[in-house]
């Protein structure tokens, strides 16, 4: 049993992973003479909510505005004989670690806090953490081993709207055109073309959701027909919010019709669609136009 003074510290940290890099803070030389990196975060003030504490600490140490998830993991480290503030103590550290994320267009990290415990912040390749090329405290590797991207499942409805083109096209497609929308910079796969449609809100009928989405994205009334098929996609990556997600999209594909004499136009401002057009089916099939797999899947139904 240690007779040293007991010191218990509670701190909150965030695992912020973007693509193949993690956001880390370098510990100040007055704390570690050797180069050593850790997760952004720090001690809780008396009465402070841990989630508020980690957001505050991330901003002080990296200059970035972070968001954190609702769930956390707790790590305990007991050092019965450790130096703290120039004296030896029986130290116990409790570390609450959240999954966090920052906006994709966030600036490069920089330390805001003056004379704090960190002197540098940057995105560090995950491979350099795993190999030890960048030295880290054990908590970093522990937290990364437990880290799992947030699971997100999204149900969406899409319209398959085709018409006879005015000219061109191969004999196989007979000049057919399909109504497509282009994904904006705030959506997944910006610049690619996809079917008009979008997410089904809680309690919303899929056909009603589809008519609403076509009106927003194309400025056209839409008559929703039969369900043609179901398509799904599953991948892990950085979401438009900046959060790393294990994403599963389930897509209901409906036959639909719109007034063929009306010119489609995007009516939703600052949404996930920045253009709409009638596109030759041949341009999709030959790859001349960058289109998502759901479009080719729908054309084959």
Per-residue pLDDT tens over the stretch 80-118: 988 887 889 999 999 999 999 999 899 999 999 998 999
Domains of the chain, residue spans: 6-148, 151-300
Q: How confident is the model at residue 31, as a pLDDT?
A: 87
Q: How confident is the model at residue 189, as a pLDDT?
A: 87
Q: How confident is the model at residue 240, as a pLDDT?
A: 85
pLDDT in tens, 158-176: 999 999 876 544 444 457 9
Q: What is the CATH number of domain 6-148?
A: 3.90.79.10
Q: How confident is the model at residue 85, as a pLDDT?
A: 77
Q: Name the residue among 81, 91, 289, 288 with its Cα closest to residue 195.
A: 289
Q: How confident is the model at residue 271, as a pLDDT?
A: 85
Q: Which residues of the chain have pLDDT under 50?
A: 168-173
Place of tokens 């369900």: 227
Q: How confident is the model at residue 35, as a pLDDT?
A: 96
Q: What top-level class would CATH report for the domain 151-300?
A: alpha beta
Distances (CA, A) of 98 to 10, 95, 151, 160, 295: 14, 10, 15, 41, 37
Domains 6-148 and 151-300 share a fold: yes
Distances (CA, A) of 209 to 169, 201, 243, 283: 32, 7, 26, 28
Q: How confident is the model at residue 1, as a pLDDT?
A: 52
Distances (CA, A) of 10 to 49, 73, 80: 11, 13, 16
Q: Name the residue among 227, 249, 214, 248 with its Cα closest to residue 301.
A: 227
């Amino acid at each position: 049993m240690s007779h040293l003074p007991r010191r218990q510290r509670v701190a909150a940290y965030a695992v912020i992973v973007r693509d193949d890099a993690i956001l880390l803070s370098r510990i100040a030389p007055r704390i570690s003479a050797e180069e050593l990196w850790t997760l952004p975060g720090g001690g809780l003030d008396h009465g402070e909510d841990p989630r508020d504490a980690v957001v505050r600490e991330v901003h002080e140490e990296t200059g970035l505005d972070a968001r954190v998830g609702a769930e956390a993991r707790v790590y305990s480290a007991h050092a019965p004989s450790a130096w703290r503030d120039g004296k030896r103590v029986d130290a116990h550290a409790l570390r609450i670690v959240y999954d966090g994320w920052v906006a994709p267009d966030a600036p490069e990290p920089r330390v805001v806090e003056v004379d704090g415990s960190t002197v540098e912040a940057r995105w560090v390749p995950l491979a350099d953490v795993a190999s030890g090329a960048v030295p880290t405290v054990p908590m970093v590797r522990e937290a990364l081993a437990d880290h799992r991207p947030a699971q997100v499942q999204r149900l969406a409805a899409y319209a398959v709207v085709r018409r006879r083109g005015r000219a061109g096209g191969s004999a196989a497609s007979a000049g057919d055109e399909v109504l497509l929308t282009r994904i904006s910079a705030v959506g997944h796969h910006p610049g690619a073309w996809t079917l008009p449609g979008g997410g089904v809100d809680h309690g919303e009928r899929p056909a009603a959701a589809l008519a609403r989405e076509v009106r927003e994205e194309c400025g056209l009334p839409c008559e929703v027909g039969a369900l043609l098929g179901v398509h799904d996609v599953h991948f892990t990556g950085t979401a438009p919010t900046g959060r790393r997600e294990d994403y599963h999209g389930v897509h209901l594909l409906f036959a639909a019709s719109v007034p063929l004499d009306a010119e489609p136009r995007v009516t939703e401002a600052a949404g996930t669609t920045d253009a709409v057009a009638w596109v030759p089916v041949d341009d999709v099939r030959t790859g001349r136009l960058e289109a998502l797999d759901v479009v080719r899947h729908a054309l084959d139904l």
